[in-house]
Amino acid sequence: MTAKYETVFALSVKTYADEEALNGAVEKFKKLMTDNGATIDNVDVWGKKRMAYAVNYETEAYYVLINFTADVTFPKELERNYRITEGVLRSLVVRTDK
């Protein structure tokens, strides 16, 4: 059974200081999605934004939004990967089809 999802994650400006590192992180998560059978509908890199409050003493982060369709068990794996990836400050996965 598949469902539509939306994920937003904030990447550390210190860890991903240049454009190449940022693109590498986005590609890593896109590859994780496609390797697990997800279909990516849209990728939107919002760029560097000021955060509402400091996280790990950082006040700015790169924000990325990805819309995708995946099996209902996949978001748990995606959240696990967000937690173990260095430089991911915050993340959110939301089901959008209901």
pLDDT band, very low/low/confident/very high, at 97 (cuts 50, 70, 90): confident
Classify each residue of 1-30 as buried b or exposed e, where b means 16 or more C-beta atoms within 10 Å of its C-beta: eeeebbbebbbbbebbeeeeebeebbeebb
Please give the residue that has the higher pLDDT: either 61 or 18: 61
Task: Tell me how far apart the alpha carbons of residues 25 and 11 are, in angstroms, rounded to a whole number.
Answer: 9
Read off the pLDDT of residues 30-62 as tens digits, 9 standing for 90 and up: 999 999 999 999 999 999 999 999 999 999 999
Specify the pTM.
Answer: 0.93
- Tell me the pairing of strands 88-95 and 39-55: unpaired
CATH topology of domain 2-87: Alpha-Beta Plaits (3.30.70)
The continuous run of DSSP H or E covering 81 comes out as helix 74-84
Residue 63, CA atoms < 13 Å, CB-side half-sphere:
12
Report the pLDDT value the prediction gives residue 65, as an integer from 0 to 100.
Answer: 98
Distance CA 97, CA 13 (A): 32
> Which residue has tokens 């890593």?
28
